[in-house]
Amino acid sequence: MDAPNLKTPLPGPKAKALIERDGKVVSPSYTRDYPFVIARGVGATVEDVDGNVFLDCAAGIAVNSTGHSHPKVVAAIVDQAQKFLHMSGTDFYYEPQVRLGEDLAATAPFPGPVRTFYANSGTEANEAAIKMARYHTKRFGILGFLGSFHGRTLGSLSLTSSRAIQRRGFGPMQGGTFHAPYATCYRCPVGLTPDRCGAECLDFLEEQVLVHLISPDDVAAVLVEPIQGEGGYVVPAKAFHERLRALTTKHGMLLMVDEVQSGMGRTGKMWAIEHFGVQPDVVTAAKGIASGLPLGVAIARSDVMAWPPGAHASTFGGNPVSCAAAIATIELLRESLVKNAAEVGEHLLAGLRALMDKHPIIGDVRGKGLMVGVELVRDRQTKERATEERNAVVDEAFRRGMLILGAGRNAVRFSPPLVLSKAQADTAIRIFDEALTAVTARK
């Protein structure tokens, strides 16, 4: 499909009618930024119920890694669905779960024997990691970072600190959970510049949290996003992950990386942590792993995932159809899509950076591969956050036929399917340019 191709005012009549029905029966806790109602998708394009075609730079929040309904993924799903839909891998055996475990072991960003726990979502993958860390170390504490997102079930939510609304009204949180500043280099928490950075932002964790709040030998693990997702597509300095690895090793804590958003090839490497030259002990993944079917995994060294039968399980976790989709997804990623994410991501990043000359509202453009964030500010000196303008830009992009989403308080994220072509990236840059012009002209 050629995108964009808009035929009706937005939303069109069919979209309007569906949204009205949704408003009566669907949980009001969901955040919808604009009225897009999908009818079908192909690659990095989506068509709404009124026949309008959009360029998709959101991918269902960084999920449709191989593009919408990739024929090879659909064929794998159909083939598995015709054989059996469910058999509970916690009580019985089936090949797709074993094969996916082998594939994940082969890609894991650490050496040695590897095991996988199967869940249905990102938050469940993190719950498994948290429980595993406690079980393995016989310690209770888990350390996380401000601005992070790990999910919404209560264990993960205790580590999530992206927006207060996500926690408001749900306390108290799980005990033994402490947060420290993330390496938000554009707004360095300790006022340094990248050339002078030795990850001093971790001083707070080491010299305050681990001195005044919790003893290091009570801490089971550190849970960290290699690149912060919901927090604003924040790429930390390499020294941050290096120092975290040294700190966790020194105190016998596990280093657990949440690759739910950054993993599965999105950053131009299979795992984002590989950009930082650090080997974690545990990796969690979900979102892009099965191209859109629900699946979450916690991947760990075999000596870490050493818990007895009955310790942890999930009826639906590792559903055979989801596993089949994941096996096909990983094959496509290895064949070409991780490489495409790296190449087209560079192109997108360069094109968005070039817009900085024209648009003073762009404060920072950052990212790896096809995980690219643009932070909007009212003033480049003061870095005052342009939150309303960001929201307006997301809306203007939609009006022009492109789906993007916000991230953090004032950033826009580009997280397209990894099949995005350079020509489509150029279209994304053009529409973003026009949306910025429209919003800044309003003042």
Q: Which 8-state DSSP code applies to residue 265? A: T
| Encoded tokens for 241 | 């992950």
* Nearest residue to 339 (alpha-carbon basis) of 234, 268, 285, 392: 268
DSSP bridge partners of 76 = none
| 230 touches ligand PLP by CB under 6 A | yes
Q: Are strands 177-180 and 219-224 parallel, antiparallel or unpaired?
A: unpaired
Q: Which 8-state DSSP code applies to residue 226? A: S
| 123 touches ligand PLP by CB under 6 A | yes
Q: How far is the CB of 93 from ligand PLP (least distance, A)?
A: 26
Question: Hey, is 133 helix, strand or coil?
Answer: helix
| 225 touches ligand PLP by CB under 6 A | yes
Cβ proximity to ligand PLP: between 225 and 364 the closer is: 225
Q: How far is the CB of 296 from ligand PLP (least distance, A)?
A: 6
Do 145 and 111 form a contact (C-beta atoms < 8 A)?
no
- Which segment (253-261, 313-321, 323-331, 370-378) binds ligand PLP by CB under 6 A? 253-261
| 427 touches ligand PLP by CB under 6 A | no
Residue carrying the six token digits 């699946």: 295
Q: How deeply is 206 buried, as exposed, middle or buried, from its count of CB atoms within 10 A (0-12, 13-18, 19+)?
A: middle
| Encoded tokens for 269 | 């490497």
Q: How far is the CB of 123 from ligand PLP (least distance, A)?
A: 3
Cβ proximity to ligand PLP: between 37 and 227 the closer is: 227
Binding track, positions 284-323, relative to ligand PLP; x by CB under 6 A? --x-------------------------------------
Do 120 and 317 form a contact (C-beta atoms < 8 A)?
yes
| 236 touches ligand PLP by CB under 6 A | no
Phi, psi of 261 (to 5 degrees): -95, -35
Among 12, 43, 122, 369, binds ligand PLP (CB under 6 A): 122
| 266 touches ligand PLP by CB under 6 A | no
Cβ proximity to ligand PLP: between 31 and 381 the closer is: 31
- Distance CA(88)–CA(315), nearest Å, equals 5
Cβ proximity to ligand PLP: between 270 and 439 the closer is: 270
CB atoms within 10 A of CB 36: 19
| Encoded tokens for 57 | 């730079």
Q: Which residue is nearest to ligand PLP (CB)?
A: 122
Q: How far is the CB of 394 from ligand PLP (least distance, A)?
A: 17
Q: How far is the CB of 4 from ligand PLP (least distance, A)?
A: 26
Residue carrying the six token digits 């999105």: 266
- Distance CA(289)–CA(379), nearest Å, equals 39
Binding track, positions 61-80, relative to ligand PLP; x by CB under 6 A? x-------------------
* Binding to ligand PLP in span 141-170, by CB under 6 A: 149-151
- Which segment (32-40, 117-125, 354-362, 376-384) binds ligand PLP by CB under 6 A? 117-125
Among 155, 216, 229, 236, binds ligand PLP (CB under 6 A): 229
Cβ proximity to ligand PLP: between 96 and 151 the closer is: 151
Phi, psi of 434 (to 5 degrees): -65, -40
Cβ proximity to ligand PLP: between 3 and 159 the closer is: 159
| CA atoms within a 13 Å half-sphere pointing along the CA-CB vector of 61 | 12
Q: How far is the CB of 156 from ligand PLP (least distance, A)?
A: 7
Q: How deeply is 84 buried, as exposed, middle or buried, from its count of CB atoms within 10 A (0-12, 13-18, 19+)?
A: exposed
- Distance CA(352)–CA(233), nearest Å, equals 14
Among 65, 121, 329, 410, binds ligand PLP (CB under 6 A): 121
| 127 touches ligand PLP by CB under 6 A | no
Q: Tell me how far the alpha carbon of residue 245 is from its chain's centroid.
A: 21
Among 261, 267, 319, 415, binds ligand PLP (CB under 6 A): 261
Q: Which residues bind ligand PLP (CB under 6 A)?
A: 61, 121-123, 126, 149-151, 225, 229-230, 258, 260-261, 286
